[in-house]
Amino acid sequence: MLMHNPPHPGEVIKELCLDPLGLTVTAAAKALGVSRKTLSAILNGKAGISPEMAIRLSIAFDTSAESWLTQQAQYELWHAEKHRKDLNVKKLVAA
């Protein structure tokens, strides 16, 4: 079952990981081994969580990589489902 309007994982990172630790984007990016631009794009919902970023986040925040990828998948699927009626797909059945 899909979550209703799930947050972008970047919002979760900011609110549950960076803010409680008092981390700046610059400091967090350095700790994650990525550029500030890369992390900023994720935090602002302009980029998604890749498998590699999920692993980086899991190491940095002692979480599971799977949880980050699941959040990303839920976010993308919820938005894709909003356009289900626009897809030109025919149901396939056995003859």
pLDDT tens-digit map of 13-67: 999 999 999 999 999 999 999 999 999 999 999 999 999 999 999 999 999 999 9
Q: Does pLDDT of 3 surpass 70?
A: no
The pLDDT-based confidence of 9 (bands split at 50, 70, 90) is: very high
Spell out the CATH class of 9-82. Answer: mainly alpha
Whether 48 contacts 42, CB under 8 Å = yes
The DSSP code for 85 is G
Distance, CA of 69 to CA of 49 (rounded, Å):
7
Listed in sequence order, the DSSP H helices in 13-64 are 19-21, 25-32, 36-43, 51-61
Quick one: pLDDT at residue 17?
96
Quick one: pLDDT at residue 42?
98
